[in-house]
Amino acid sequence: MSDKPCIILRTRQDRGRAVRWIEQAPDGTVVEFKQKGRSSDQNAAMWSILTQINRQRPVHNGVKMSAVLWKAVFMQALGAELVMLPTLEGDGLFPFGHRSSKLTVSEMGDLIELMLAWAATEGLTIEHFDEQAVAA
């Protein structure tokens, strides 16, 4: 068994192998269960939506926005803790904290749904993204 075994539970055999690993693991071993991470289709959909939002709303509450800054705004609205750090030159801020790459499939779906709902209430038009990716 390798130092960091990993298995995706798809079949009864996968579950049996996981149980055997747990039974053979020495005391003090940490076992982590987590949902599958967001898909690349979800990531592509998120960036498409963020880019479209930024084109239609390049300024938000007096701040010149970018797709990255919009992502930080939506991540914060979803409940992620973010810190805004100053640039080296001290002429601006950038977000640091919870990364969308760490979101599960369902959390990423929630983020995309939040962005779409906000855009709809603001009268923005969102096109050109794979709607199937939201729950991928």
Radius of gyration of the chain measured on its C-alpha atoms: 19
Hey, what amino acid is at 71?
Answer: K
Tens digit of each residue's pLDDT (9 = 90 or more) over 15-32? 999 899 989 989 998 888
* Domain residue extents for the chain: 1-33, 40-135
Hey, what amino acid is at 125?
Answer: T
Compute the CA torsion angle 64, 70, 72, 76 (nearest 10 deg): 110
Sequence-distant (≥ 6) Cβ neighbours of residue 4 within 8 angstroms = none
Domain covering 40-135: architecture? Orthogonal Bundle (1.10)
pTM for the whole thing? 0.65
Tens digit of each residue's pLDDT (9 = 90 or more) over 74-123? 998 988 877 888 999 999 887 777 678 788 888 999 999 999 999 999 99
d(Cα 61, Cα 134) in Å, to the nearest integer? 28
